[in-house]
Structure formats: structure tokens, C-alpha cells
Amino acid sequence: MSQVSPQRPRGLDQLDRDGFCILPDVIPRKNITAIREEVLAVVAAHRTESAPQQVGFVPGLINHTRCFAPYLLESQLAVLLTASLGAHLRISFTSAIVNEPGNQRGGWHADWPFNQTNAGHIPAPYPDVRMHVTTLWMLSTFSEKNGGTLVVPASHRRRSNPTAHIDCDAQQPLPEEIRITGEAGSVLVMDSRLWHATAANQTQNPRVALAIRYAPWWLNLEVLRPDSAERHRMCRESGRDDNRVPSVPNDVYTQLPVEVQPLFQHWRESPR
């Protein structure tokens, strides 16, 4: 077994260099099937109309199920996230993403707040600072055929991405792209600036994933809150829309494991 230095969390070197890394066994194998089935049931009941065809998408997943909550601060993940974003972590998004058989390849993009089409975005050219981390949780094994995410290694160091008007066709394959594969229970950790794209699922089975995003305490998330005054103003003034992340009702909050509650405290419905 390879030695991991206590000073350098597992995956941090690769996250710095390539903009992503994969942490294995974040969800214990014995629990994966039950969590996948629960997430599929939530997606069947609550999927949004606005997602691309053959993609089952549910934002604010934590309001529908807490089945994944015990792992949100799994030890290797917590150490890596804290080294990346500092103390007092927050969760910004909890979404289910099911790429169903026959879904289309998606466009190259970087995630919020680097996606230049959102009302809330950090304008390109943006600085070389890690400000947000996207994690994709593999509830199915990600394979070459079933839609393992496409990424462009080291693209997090570029100062823009294909959601801006740059010299790159977001719909076309890129020579340097690679596909992420991994066992169910693994988590792909990406700097949110990394260029990535949905891949087509060419199998007969759904590829089931969670997109959980983590933010530092100092990143303003208010544009994501559906009814915030700041969101209304930013959308109106920019003429753009943004992702909607529903607030967490108090009864949902109290059902969370105590150690996980601080990750959602900023998003509680009731006054803090």
C-alpha cells in the first residue's frame, strides 16, 4: 500500500496539477445499491422538465432524501476539501443526475460561478484561485460506454472556458479530452473551473450520479437562492438566469447528521 503524507491529503497534488482527482470508496460498497435505488426513486418522482433529454435531474436533493448525507464529510473527502477551500466549508448544490440510455453528449463548460452564461459568474479572465469544488459521486460505476464524465486535464488553469465566446466549439470533442472511469462509491473531485462535459450513455442501464458542490465560507451564494432579493436584482440587471437551489427546511436540517449540519446552516429556511 502506498504511503500518504499527513501533510498532503490524498488527491491534492493531482487536484492542483490536473484540476481533478478520484477518491475511492467514499460510500461503502455494501450501501451503494440502496442509495442508488433511493436516488432513482426520487428522480422518478421529482425530475425537472428543464434538463436535457434523457437526463434525470433533481436539484435540492437533500430536501428529498438524506441517504447520502452520512458521507458528505467522509474522512478523505473532508481532509481534501478543507485543504482546498479552508475551514467552515459550505455545501452549495446537492443534485441527482441520471444519464439515461441514449442521452446526448453535452457542451464543454466550467461550473458555477465560472459558467459565463449565469447571472452570477466571475467574469473571464478569472484569477487562478480555487473558489468552488464540484464533486460527482458515482452511484453507478462510470465506464467508457455508460457516460463517464469527459474532462480536459489542467484546463482549470485557463482563464476562461467555452461558455464564454472563446475560440472553441463547445459541442466538439477536443484532442486532449479524457473520460473519467471509476467504481461505484468513488467520488470525482474537480476544481469547478475544470472544463468538463456530459458523455453519451451507450449502454442499456442508467448512469446514476450525485453532483455535490462545496464552497468556502466567503463565496456569495445568494444568487442561487430562488427568492432572494439579490438573485432577482442580478437576473434582472444581467438579463440572465441562474441555477435554483431550494432552501433547506428546518425539519430537513434537523434530520441531518449533527456533524453535517454546519454544511447547510447558511441555507436553512428559518432565521439563523
Ligand X SMILES: O=C(O)CCC(=O)C(=O)O
Q: Is 196 in the site for ligand X (CB under 6 A)?
A: yes
Give the nearer residue to ligand X in terms of CB position, either 188 or 234: 188
Q: Which is nearer to ligand X, 73 or 180 (CB)?
A: 180
Tell whether residue 198 is a contact of ligand X (CB under 6 A): yes
Q: Is 111 in the site for ligand X (CB under 6 A)?
A: yes
Tell me the closest approach of the beta carbon of residue 40 to ligand X, in angstroms.
15
Closest contact distance (angstroms) between CB of 80 and ligand X is 19
- For residue 37, report the phi and psi dihedrals to the nearest 5 degrees: -65, -40
Q: Are 138 and 104 in contact (CB under 8 A)?
A: no
Q: Identify residue 127 by its one-letter amino acid code.
A: P
Q: Which residue in the set 131, 194, 209, 210 belongs to the binding site for ligand X (CB under 6 A)?
A: 209
How far CA 25 is from CA of 67, 166, 173, 222, in Å, comes to 16, 38, 30, 33
Cα torsion 1, 186, 142, 213 to 10°: value is: -140
Contacting residue, 211, 215, 223, 252, with ligand X by CB under 6 A: 211
For CA atoms 111, 117, 121, 127, the dihedral sign is positive
The yes or no reply on residue 79 touching ligand X (CB under 6 A) is: no
CB 3, min distance to ligand X, A: 32
Candidates 9, 13, 148; CA nearest to 82 is: 9
Q: How far is the CB of 190 from ligand X (least distance, A)?
A: 9
Q: How far is the CB of 211 from ligand X (least distance, A)?
A: 4
Identified binder of ligand X from the candidate list 97, 133, 152, 210, rule CB under 6 A: 97
DSSP result, 66-114: -TTGGGTT-HHHHHHHHHHH-SS-EEEEEEEEEE-TTPPP---B--TTS
187 binds ligand X (CB under 6 A): no
User: CB of residue 111 vs ligand X: minimum separation in angstroms?
Assistant: 5
The rounded distance, in Å, linking the Cα atoms of 38 and 269 is 24
Residues of this chain that interact with ligand X (CB under 6 A) are 97, 99, 111, 136, 149, 196, 198, 209, 211
